[in-house]
Every structure is written in structure tokens, then in C-alpha cells.
Structure 1
Amino acid sequence: MATGWRGSYYRYKELFLNISVLYKKRADLRAFLEIVLSIVAVIVFVMFALKPTALTIISLVQQIKEERKTLSTLTQKANDLQKAGTLLAQNQRYIDNINTAVSSAPAPDMFMKQIEGLSARHSVDLMGLVVSDVVLIGSPKTIRISGELEPLPESANEMGYSISVKGSFSNIDNFMKELEKLRVISTIDSVTVNSSVTESGRVIVAVISGRVPYLGSSGKVSEVLSHKRPLSLSMMRKLESGLGIPAKVLLKTSEEFQTEKDISWNNYPIKEMRDRSYFGEKALEKSTLKELIEDFFRPIGSPAYVVGMLRKTYYRSKKPINKYSLAVWSAYVIKKANKIKYPIKFQKGSVDLEFMRKVAKLSVEFNGPLLARDLLIKYGIGLIIEPHFSNTYLDAMTILTNKDHPIIGLTIRQDRLDNFWFTLMHELAHVALHLDNPINLFYDDLDDKDVSSEEEGAADKLAGEALIPEDKWINSPARLIPSPIAAQSLARELGVHPAIVAGKMRHENARYRYLYALLGQGEV
């Protein structure tokens, strides 16, 4: 018998010849093979022809569902806009009064005209009207009022005045009553009354001293009107007593979240919450949206309570923010921070420039962000990292509702070392500077470079000083030369990561094409 490959060849040849002869002789075998091959052909056809069609049908069904959901959302928004239009029409006269009374600068001419009209209406002689020095153009200096006088609303400036009037007692009494109700809000600090007898009878001479508060810079007015800065309770009282605007109108900034029945449960980012496992083991198909949301918020309060906290908030962002998504993100950050076992309570004053520079020096370590988190916990501060939700445009948040344990939430939206360290320093600056501020929550979109808020401007300044002292920056070649060598040299001198210096060089000189390799992209 042949050996090697020839032997194998002859054996296989004989085998196939035998099978061929058998196939021709056996009709049943031929039928069986044809059936098997037909089945295989059908299977192949289904896999390569019908599968794409089935996938297309499934995709279209999903698309229809999404479009129906979008239509429902648009319908809800249209209804909300209609409600907003109705509310605007109902309160238009209050808005007109606000536009007249609340200005970004003192209005002595308007005030004097109103006093002249008031004196003529009540038949009193206006002997004198003096207003204090005011800045009509430029930034006015906030005047600190002594403890003997009634404090003005937070962050308000003032225009002092002194009015001398002469007339009968009843006329002067009516004059003063109307003075307190002027459209231009006025605070009366003191009244001096003298009387004398003349040929026409007894005459009363009254000298009235007081102040006209105004919100301050146009930036502050814009912040109030754009809901970045809330009206304080004292501001609301002044607007109510001075303009007759009901406080409930000023408090009712939106019909949403006032009560549980006003909450639109469909507006919550359910899909993103599910993808992030916010609902835990709770089955979505076995629970209503209301049950899911309430269960998520329950450890810290009701959904209405959490969103209510957002009203006492400063928003650094020009973009519209989805309050439902922001409430969910904030609640999750608070829940995670509440699980931290802090060794001590936060001590006011422990976060200062020296401490912030100590934190900044951790940037040179390969695990610097983790070391910073651990150091802050030792001081009673929670640092939570959680990606932002869609339509929130958020870099960070500082929560000061619990003075024992302030919370800093970061989104790492940019995922660059320079951005991480500046954002962290900015939020620490809020803790250092604004712990006792009436505003308890600061939301920061640091892409917004137009800083009109005093709080945000101060936080930016302290953060910059903590990372790179101004005296070092002014005398460094890095200020003028966009060179990696200059950046690394100043970083070594300060003991911080070169990304921090590179970020400042790019920002200060608007040279965003330079030094990208030093920023630590994707290294946070």
C-alpha cells in the first residue's frame, strides 16, 4: 500500500467515489440531503436578509416612542409657557412698579420730584431737601451702617437724605405717612420736630432724615432679575411696604415645586438616573415615577424640599439650567457626602489662604486629587466627584447648608488637571469667604467669564492667589512667554503641577493654542 500523502490521497478519493455511487443509487439519501441543504439555505437567508429588516423595525418602534415622549415634553412646555404668560399678565403692574422703583443706581431727581409733589398735595412748605453724595456713574462704594440704624437689605447701597418741612400738625402727619409709602422705597431713621407760634397760629417744623436703598450695581440687579441672586426677605419686605407688592408674589418665583401636586414627575432625568444606578435594586417596571423619585430623595427630604433649597442659590451660568436634573445631581452629592465618616466638625476659619496653598501643593503627586479629598475630610469637608447631567452645564457646587460639614461637588466636566485644581480652589474659596453668606449654595459654570457677582469675583481672586501668588506671577517669564520651560520653571518654584501654571498662562493671555500638552488632559 502506498505510503505518505499518496496513500492519504487514494484513501479519500476512494471514500468520495463510494459516497457518490451511494448518492446516485439511494433516492432517500438524495432527498434527505436536499432537505438539509434547503434548511441551511433558509437559515442563511434569515440571518443575512431578514435580520437587518427586523433591526430596522425595532429601531423605528423605539424612534416612535422617543418622538411621542418628545411630543409630550413639548406639550408640557407649551402649557408651562401659557401658565407663565398668564402669571406675567396678572402681575404686570407689579413688574412695572419694580422697574420704576428698583434701579441699579440712585435716582435723586426722581426722589426729589416725588417729595415736591407730596409736599404740594398735603399743603406743607418744603423748606429744604438735601441728599448725600452719590456716585451716578461708576461703581458705588457700599456704605457700612452703624448698629444704631435699621440695617438695609443685603448688598444694598444707600442714598441718604434730609427733608425740612413746615406746616400744621395734621398736614405734616399726613405728609410723613405718605412718605413711608412712596414708590421709591425709603427708610426713615430720625424725625426732629419743633413748633412756634405765629400770627396765623401754631406752626410745626419737622426735619426728617433717612435713606433710600437701592440694589447696587447693574450686575446685582441683573443677577436678581435672571434668578442668579435671590431676593432676601428684607428686600421683599421693603418692596411690599414701599410698592404694595405682595410678598407671596415675590416668593412665588415659579409654580413648580411649591407643593407635591405641582411637580412634573416626567421632567426628571429618569433614563440618566437609571443608567447611573440611582434607583438601586428597585425595579423600574414595578414602580411609578413618583415612587422612584420619592424613594431616591427620601434620605435627605422630599423632592419639593430639595428643589426648595435651590432657591437660596447663586448660579454662575448664562445658560438655562434644568432644575430637575440639578436637583437630582445635588441630592446625590449630598447623599454621598452624608455617608462620609468625618473625624471632626468643620471649624470656621480653618480654610484660609495658607490651607489652600497646602492643598494646591498636592497637585504634584500622581494621586493628588485623592490626597486632596482625604485632606479635606480630615478638616470636616466633603469632596464628591459626580459627572454632571445633561442641560446642567456644571463644573462644581459648594453646599453650605450644614455649617458643620460643608460639601464640595465636582463634575470633572473638562477632565484636565489645570481645570480640576482651579475649580477646587474656587469652591474652597466659597467655604473660606461665604460660610455665613445668606446664599447657601453656589453653582459654578466656570466657562462663564463675565463675573459680575462680588462673591464669584472674590472666589476667583482667592483661588488664583492660592495657586499662583500675584507677586510671583508678575515677576515670572511665564507671564510673557508661552513656553513650556517657563511654565515648568515657575511650577517648580511654587511646588505645584505645571498644568496649573500652563492653565493660567493660556487664560491670562488668551493663548489657548499653546501649552495644551502640559494641561494634564484625561489625567484627573
Structure 2
Amino acid sequence: MVNHSVYEPNYAVPPGETLLDTLEELNMSQAELARRMNRPVKTINEIIKAKTEITPTTSLELERATGVPASLWNNLERNYRDNLARIKERARLENHVGFLEILPVKDMIRREWIPKSRNNIDQLVEVLNFFRISTIEAWETIWGSELSENVAFRKALSYESDKGAISAWLRQGEIEAEQIPCGVFDKAKFKSLLQSEIRILTKEPNPQVFLPELVRLCAEVGVAVVLVKELPGCRVNGATYWVNSQKAVIQLSARYRADDHLWFTFFHEAGHIVLHGKTETFLEYKKEAELEEKEQEADTFATESLIPSAQYKAFITKTAYYSYQSVGAFADDLGVSPGIVVGRLQHDGIVPYRNLNQMKQRYTWSD
């Protein structure tokens, strides 16, 4: 879409020009106006030349001396200063249009996250508005160095993720999460939901059915769930962050098409909410020991939540041949999707990755 913004001139008309025209119409000299206002002639001349601002007090004096309402003088001065500031700002932004190159702007426009603008400066303004920041330096502070001080995300270690793509993906998640009204966060109720209604949802094959229900259930206990398809260069499975102390966000990317990956990622992110702090940062690629430990804790939480180790060990101990029937029966006993069981068996090397894939539910996600 094209941004049909209000026309902004690249020039600023000082109110002094209107004052000069008014004096000519009144056949009044600057000296005469100065006497009527009990001001130095120099002050009137500086107002006309835009060297001195028209203050609210001056506008009242001009109203009495010229008959032109004070509101007009105030508006002229305000518009003049606003236009000056915009012209200066556009000149500054012109030196930063290269920032657009580190962001997936075309994809952001295609997905209608931002409007398409007629020139690079206007496009840069739309990008700043999208991130809700005023300067490129602010982006560097919030997103550039750490991506975010309060964002936890799990990514494939085999790739170098693009900061611009990740920051845009995360920001879109924030925007969508803002639109989800949530109750006050309740950890106990959230944990209970994970082991009951949400586990049952893994068996539903249709995302149009289970996603709205997942969003509804989690919102009731203070967790906003959003699914934002990854951007090129993003390569992120999911993210967890807190809007405030009473509202958490789980952001999914649908990077993988199978149900086992989707639900493991969801429960992994849920693990961060249950186990870890509300202001912590989890950046898996940083290779920090503490962060690796917490990622492992979230992995363990997801694994145990979906397939408890005791039941899993009993199943693999007594099963010699993993057929559709045996795996399906075990999934039914657990109350989860068969694809989740297949994914666990494949991950553990018990079943080759080429086997039993028909039991996985495949998804197709639109932008």
C-alpha cells in the first residue's frame, strides 16, 4: 500500500511576512506599530525577519495593535517552527537512509506492516514509526546490540541471524500482542492449562481451530500468544518476553511445517515463562554458560510436558518395532499428537528421520 500522507512543504513561511502584509494593508509603519505596542522598533523588525519568535504575550499585543486575532499569530508562529523542525529533521534523516538496507523493508511492505512511501526519507520515517523510535541511535540501543534487553528467543545455531530481520519480526509480535487483551498473569493456572487443555490442542490438525483457542486460553491467564511468520534472514523458532509484570508474550514463527516442531517450540517458550525471570534475556547464540543452562531447562520442561520421561522409557523399553499402530496408541495414551511422539523418537535416534513422517501434521502458513 502507498502512504498517502499529508503534504509537508520543504519550506517554512515566517509569520513576519504576514505581519508585514498586515502593516501595508493598515498603512502602518513598523515604527508606529512599535509605539502602539510599547516595544523597540528593533523588536518589530526582528519579528518580521524571523529573528525573534512571536510569544503568546506578543500575539495578544499584536491583536490589540492590528485587530488580527492572537490565535492567528500563535498559529503562524507554531506552524513556522514546526515546519522548520521538520525541514531540519528531513535533512538529518537524509544522512541515515542507508539504515533501510539492513531491514527487510520490501517484505515488511508486502506484509503491510508498514506503508510504501514515495521516497527513502518518508520510508525511513515509516520504519521509525513502526519501531516506535525517533532516531536510528535508539534502534541501536534497543535492538542492535542485544536485539532487546527483555527478549528471550530460541534460534537455530547453525545460522547467522540477521539483526534487522529479527528486530522487525519481534516488533511485529509486540504490535500484535498489544491487540490481545489479557488477564493478570497467573503462573499456577498457566501451568495447569499446559498440562490439560493445551496438551489436548496438540491433537487438533487444523491451525484455524487450535490457534484461536490457544490464544484465548493463554490470554485468560496473562499470556499473549502471537504467530508471526519469519522474515527472510530471521531464522527464529520462537520468542518469549514480558510487556509488563502481568503480561507475558509467546511469539511463534512457524518456521517449521510439522506439528512436533511447533508444539515443542511453544512448550519451550512456556518453560521460560514458568521457570525464569520476567526481565531476563536468553540469547542462545551468545554461548554463555548460564543462558545455555536456562535453554536446557526450557527444553527439559517442554520434553516432560509433552512426553513424561517415565512413560516414554516404559514405551521404548517394551517396544521392539515402532509401527503406526504402536506409536498412535502411545500418543492416545499420552493425549498428544502422534507427530510429537514421532519427533521425539527421531530426535533420540530411535527411529530414522525418514520413518513415520506421515504421522506428523503438516502446516502451511500465510503471511
- TM-score category (smaller protein): 0.5 to 0.7
Question: How big is each residue's C-alpha offset from its partner over 1:179-214, in whole Å with a ceiling of 9 and x where there is no partner?
Answer: xxxxxxxxxxxxxxxxxxxxxxxxxxxxxxxxxxxx
Q: 1:289 aligns with which of 108, 120, 123?
A: 123
Q: Which runs of 5+ in 1 are unaligned?
A: 1-259
TM-score (structure 2 length as normaliser) = 0.62
2:259–2:340 contact (8 Å) kept in structure 1: yes
Contact 1:400 1:435 in 2 (8 A): no
- Matched with 1:397 is 239
1:133-152 CA deviation, whole Å, 9 max, x = no partner? xxxxxxxxxxxxxxxxxxxx
- Return closer, same or farther for 1:523/1:451 CA change in 2, 3 Å cut-off: farther
**Matching of residues 492-511 of structure 1 within 5 Å:** 492-509=332-349, 511=352
Partner of 2:358 in structure 1?
517
Hey, what's the Cα distance between the residues in 1 that align with 2:253 and 2:336?
22
**SS in structure 2 at match of 1:399:** strand
The one-letter amino acid of 1:521's match is R
1:482 match: secondary structure: coil
Instruction: Tell me, yes or no, if structure 1 residue 459 matches structure 2 residue 298.
Output: yes
Structure with more relative contact order (C-alpha pairs < 8 Å, separation 6 or more): 2
302-311 vs 498-507, which moves further: 302-311
Q: Tell me which residue corresponds to 1:425.
A: 267
- Contact 2:190/2:218 (<8 A) preserved: no
Report how many aligned residue pairs link the two structures.
257
Residue 215 of structure 2, aligned match among 360, 364, 373 = 373
1:391 Cα offset (Å): 1.5
- C-alpha change, 1:511 and 1:406, in structure 2 (3 Å) is same
Q: CA deviation at 1:264?
A: 2.8
Residue in structure 2 matched with residue 324 of structure 1 by the alignment = 164
Task: Find the counterpart in structure 2 of residue 232 from structure 1.
Answer: none
RMSD, aligned CA: 3.2
What is the CA distance between 1:349 and its match in structure 2?
Answer: 4.1
Alpha-carbon distance in 2 for matches of 1:388, 1:349? 31
The 5 Å alignment of 1:40-79 reads: none
Residue 370 (structure 1) shift: 2.9
Q: How far apart are 1:266 and its partner, in Å? A: 2.3
Give the SS at the match of 1:293.
Answer: helix
For structure 2, the 5+ residue unaligned runs are: 1-94
Q: What's 2:103 paired with?
A: 268
Amino acid at match of 2:229: P
In the alignment, which residue of structure 2 is the partner of 1:406?
248
Instruction: Tell me, yes or no, if the aligned pair for 2:165 and 2:234 is still in contact at 8 Å.
Output: yes
From 339, 348, 351, the counterpart of 2:190: 351
2:283/2:291 contact within 8 Å kept? no
Aligned residues with identical type, % of pairs: 22
- Equivalent of residue 309 in structure 2, options 459, 470, 485: 470
Q: 1:375 to 1:322 in 2, by over 3 A?
A: same
Note the C-alpha offset of 1:439. 2.0
Partner SS state of residue 481, structure 1: coil
Per the alignment, residue 33 of structure 2 pairs with none
- The 2-side partners of 1:410 and 1:466 are apart by 18
Q: Which of 264, 273, 278 does residue 113 from structure 2 map onto?
A: 278
TM-score normalized with structure 1 length: 0.45
| Contact preservation (8 Å) 1:417, 1:523 | no
The verdict on how the C-alpha distance between 1:283 and 1:314 changes in structure 2, with shifts beyond 3 A counting, is: closer
Distance 2:230 2:346 in 1: 25
Which residue number in structure 2 is paired with residue 303 of structure 1?
139
Q: CA deviation at 1:311?
A: 4.7
Question: CA separation in 1, counterparts of 2:290 and 2:358?
Answer: 28
Q: Distance in 2 between matches of 1:479 and 1:334?
A: 45
Answer whether contact 1:473 1:479 (CA < 8 A) is retained.
no
- Partner secondary structure for residue 408 of structure 1: strand
Query: Deviations along 1:458-506, whole A, 9 cap, x unmatched?
Result: 1111111111111111111486533211111111111111111111111
More strand by share: 1
Residues 454/479 of structure 1: CA separation in 2 closer, same or farther (3 Å cut):
farther
4+ runs of 1 displaced by more than 6 Å? 260-263
Deviation at 1:283, TM superposition (A): 3.1
Residue in structure 2 matched with residue 167 of structure 1 by the alignment: none
- Aligned-partner Cα distance in 2 for 1:383–1:300: 28
Q: Secondary structure at the match of 2:250?
A: strand
Q: Which has the larger radius of gyration?
A: 1
Q: Deviations over 1:220-274 (max 9, x none)?
A: xxxxxxxxxxxxxxxxxxxxxxxxxxxxxxxxxxxxxxxx979833211111111
> Contact 1:394/1:443 (CA < 8 Å) preserved in 2?
no
Distance 1:285 1:300 in 2: 18
In 2, Cα distance between equivalents of 1:298 and 1:408: 21
Q: Which residue of 1 aligns with 2:331?
A: 491
Q: Which amino acid aligns with 1:363?
A: T
Corresponding residue SS for 1:388: coil
